[in-house]
Amino acid sequence: MISGFGPVPEWERPDPAVAYWETEAEDYYRQHGAFLGDDRLIWCPEGLDEAESGLLGTLAGRRVIEIGCGGAQGARWAARQGASVVGVDLSAGMLRVAARLGAADFALVQSDAAALPFSDDSFDLAFAAMGALPFVPSLAAVHREVARVLRPGGRWVFSTDHPFAWVFPDSPDPERLAVERSYFDREPYFERSDDGRLRYTQYHATLGDHVSALTGAGFAIDRLIEPDWPAAGGARDGEWGAWSPRRGRLVPSSLIIAARLGRQGA
């Protein structure tokens, strides 16, 4: 495997024959399924649970879309709160996991987050729990598309890697908290198979990039949350790569933004 930081053409997507989310979907669930649960909405490796945080508000009777749903644990939880839910993911492998876990109470759709196959004003609420946004080349394109399918006044709540974490090595060891990369270096991390096929990409956005992309799509930010690592709970050392209790108590690992659509994005 070839990996590193560098340019990836915006049009190039991971090849399904070797893509991480396709070939490793079941292994990902085996590794993280116990932490995520099958019908819980866990926002981040710090273990913030929607059942306790209430970031989405009342769900009964709402039309809801989960972007980058993966195994659709969040969609499953929202459906059981009385919402009418659609879970969307680009990866057929992850959607197979979601279907196996059970999707009788909601719909699953394979789709690019920046090209959703729904009419304007289709949903009251959109959310993503570490889904889609770290893996797309254009935050603005996703936020514009979410704005399009939300009704005016609709809410968009998402979690992602904290931008500050990009500067550090991908290690949970707090002794390695030395800056290795510029916060302003936006070249993505990529993995390619030995024959050059793209397997995985992850993109960096600064906090300013997140704010600009959201407001440019017509959203007003209601809350910006940098979760503390809890004294009890959250992921264990090594369970989620660089996320860990030891590191998380020193620097922020995750970012959660709750926003409201004030006007339709252009």
Q: What is the pLDDT of residues 120-133, one digit of tens each?
A: 999 999 999 999 99
Q: Is residue 118 part of a domain?
A: yes
Give the mean pLDDT of 114-122. Answer: 97
Which of the four pLDDT bands, split at 50, 70 and 90, describes residue 263? low
Which of the four pLDDT bands, split at 50, 70 and 90, describes residue 218? very high
Structural domain tally of the chain?
1
Q: Is the pLDDT of residue 264 over 60?
A: no
Structural domain for 256, as ranges: 31-162+208-261
Q: Is residue 131 part of a domain?
A: yes
Q: Is residue 172 part of a domain?
A: no
CA distance 131 to 219: 19
pLDDT digit string (tens) for 180-201? 999 999 999 999 999 999 999 9
What is the value of pTM for the model shown?
0.95
Q: How many CB atoms lie within 10 A of CB 221?
A: 14
Kindly list the strands in the beta sheet with 254-261, ordered across the sheet, starting from the edge strand earlier in the chain.
Answer: 107-110, 84-89, 63-67, 123-129, 150-161, 254-261, 219-225
Q: Is residue 248 part of a domain?
A: yes
CATH of the domain at 56: 3.40.50.150
Q: Is residue 186 part of a domain?
A: no
Q: Is residue 20 part of a domain?
A: no
Give the mean pLDDT of 154-168. Answer: 95
Q: In this predicted structure, what is the pLDDT of residue 265?
A: 39
**More confident of the two residues 188 and 239:** 188
The full length of the chain comes to: 266
Residue 213 · residue 140 · CB < 8 Å: yes
Query: Phi then psi for 73, rounded to 5 degrees?
Result: -60, -40
